Amino acid sequence: MPSVEIVEVGPRDGYQGIGPFIPTETKIEFLRRLVDAGLKRIEIGSFVSPKALPQMRDTPEILAAVAAVPGLKAQILVPSEKWGRQAVEAGAKALVFVLSVSEAHNRNNVRRHPLESAAEYGRLLEAIPSDVFIRLDLATSFDCPFEGRIPEEKVIALLEVLVPLRPDAEVCLCDTTGRADPSHVQSLFAACMERFPEVRTWALHPHDTYGLGLANVHTAYREGVRVFDAAFGGLGGCPFAPGATGNVATEDVVWMFDRMGVATGIDIAKLVPVAVDGAAIPGGTPGGRVRAALTSGQNACVAVT
């Protein structure tokens, strides 16, 4: 049976825009429940300035607390060499280094040109143990809130700098604004896979702002991608589209692959109650469809003549 790996990013991307602070104990309990549902690889938070993202200020505490959770591969997102070093010093065994293809977006996030961030990535790799798992997240691979649609050649040009630094790193193309469409997803992954055959694992980070998240996941799967980010309850939101939802819902992705006969290792019956509770987090912006469908009590489709 074919299979995919779903990376749960709700505890990082789903939480980071929520204003009211989610108690650390609540975050840890959600992580335990997600693991129990079958999610083994979870982005539990980020090492960033607590002034910039107050919701992430307890990530070191969470990292320490879940170190003993059986089967959990906890990954930490970092935007710079400084925060990457601190994450590893705190015990992180898996890092996600994020930088933007778009100069405007990268400067807005970390006040650096993308090539300056690439240089930091290289220095970080030299400074940390070689057995630390590394993933590259290329934000704005498809579209930028400041620059619009990103030309494919810009993505490839940045990867030509990044890939040789760690050819075995997982590479994730991120639809930061949710404006990617299936045609663009197919074209960009095809071009990148052809240009960088040494990259063994490609991933997609889809947002669902315009309702195309699941379609883009399906397209990437058909193109050969086998790692997908998603957030339980569809948590996320988009700061550039007020009121819009953000990440594609984990339960929607699991349901689709289950129906396709593609193994995810996730128990949808255990996941949905966690997603229901996640969608109810004060200040959150939930999304997705499967959660409501499976809890409505109206799962049968009645033909109308």
CATH assignment of the domain containing 44: 3.20.20.70
Count Cα atoms within 13 angstroms, Cβ side, for 50. 5
Contact 127, 121 (CB under 8 A): no
11's CB contacts (< 8 A; 6+ apart) are 27, 30, 31, 34, 42, 43, 44, 45, 62
Rounded to whole angstroms, what are the CA distances from 289 to 69, 108, 204?
A: 30, 33, 20
DSSP 282: T
Q: Residue 161, Cα to own-chain centre: how many angstroms?
A: 22
In a domain, 91, yes or no: yes
Active site residue 301: no
Burial class (CB in 10 A: 0-12, 13-18, 19+), 195: middle
Domain that holds residue 71: 5-295
In a domain, 305, yes or no: no
Dist. CA 31–CA 8, nearest whole Å: 10
Count Cα atoms within 13 angstroms, Cβ side, for 17. 20
Contact 149, 112 (CB under 8 A): no
Per-residue confidence (pLDDT) for residue 14, from 0 to 100: 96
Q: Which helix (H) or strand (E) holds 228?
A: strand 227-230
Strands (E), 9-106: 41-46, 73-78, 94-100
Q: Residue 143, Cα to own-chain centre: how many angstroms?
A: 16
Name the pairing type of β-strands 227-230 and 202-205: parallel
In a domain, 270, yes or no: yes
In a domain, 303, yes or no: no
Dist. CA 4–CA 12, nearest whole Å: 21
Per-residue confidence (pLDDT) for residue 78, from 0 to 100: 98
Q: Model confidence over 261-274: pLDDT tens digits? A: 999 999 999 999 99
Strands (E), 118-186: 133-139, 143-144, 148-149, 170-174
Per-residue confidence (pLDDT) for residue 304, from 0 to 100: 42
Dist. CA 249–CA 54, nearest whole Å: 24
Average pLDDT per run of 10 along the chain, which is 305 residues long? 97 95 98 97 97 96 94 96 98 97 95 98 97 97 95 98 98 96 98 98 96 97 98 84 77 98 98 98 95 78 41
Number of domains in the chain: 1
Per-residue confidence (pLDDT) for residue 296, from 0 to 100: 87
Return the structure tokens found at 134: 């590394």
Catalytic residue, from 144, 172, 238, 301: name it: 238
Name the pairing type of β-strands 133-139 and 94-100: parallel
pTM: 0.95
Per-residue confidence (pLDDT) for residue 251, from 0 to 100: 98
Per-residue confidence (pLDDT) for residue 299, from 0 to 100: 53
Per-residue confidence (pLDDT) for residue 230, from 0 to 100: 98
